[in-house]
Structure 1
């Protein structure tokens, strides 16, 4: 005889499912705020899959692998999106970082007419560029860890890793954009070699 009794009372499973859905919705909203709309959709769908998985598992309802298949597709999309956006796969950024580090060093040492604020930006930029590849590799490692987890564990891991935009350390390119606003002429040669980054820097300067 097939045992159709739930593993735990339905209300407990429902509470946990709602909690997981709220976690996913919160992460989705976070991504929307910073403009990562694909990631926002991924988190929201993941929240639905995780919540349904909890209910179905507790009630011993077979999904015939539908939820597992959906999560697998979601994982592939998530990893692909991360890799496409990662600086590690962007050859222009990879070649720009050591150039920027060198420019920041020269700026902080050679430019006599710069302000204290500009010098502080340059010095901070040196450190950021120096450790940029390490930070990017850590983010890739976290993404690979998430890809090996189930839907529930993925959301909880992402919640644990969650940071507000203000807590995110500034990256090498952020200091380039900051210093470019004040001293665009200093980056004239760099901008010729990296026109895409130069256009972004100019657009940011116009908005500020």
Structure 2
């Protein structure tokens, strides 16, 4: 009997907890959803802030945790030795490439410039056709409101297209957004398998 690999979710989020309890609550909800689905979290490998919160929630709910962290950040972000797999790499490029390879969907929670950079890069890679995996933004407690307004302004200014905005899902409820990303990934995988047999 072939055992299928667990559904794998890459989570981008802050190494700090942020000021609002809602951010940690969202991280817990995401981790619990992954764990209860028997899924796998792929994330930045840290034990602090929202990163540590989502990893612990996933682990406590029965999910696998795969952490990927550059050597330079092992001490700063306090590498999470409780991960099922902890990969210590040399560069951020290696970290992001491995995260991209190991995940089926990507979701951004509240975070700082590292989270923004990872989100925009994986979104850009999708636009360029390097992958066709679903990307989501969890707009927890309005955290991403101003960024989404700015992006809408970029479309109005003619510097982005509506189709580019269509490559990323946004939502305010963790489980609803995660289910939508999972369904999209499953549909795309089925379509790809059918195309290979035509």
TM-score, normalising length from structure 1? 0.28
Task: Provide TM-score, normalisation by structure 2.
Answer: 0.29
Judging by fraction of residues, say which structure has more helix.
Answer: 1
**Which has the larger share of strand?**
2
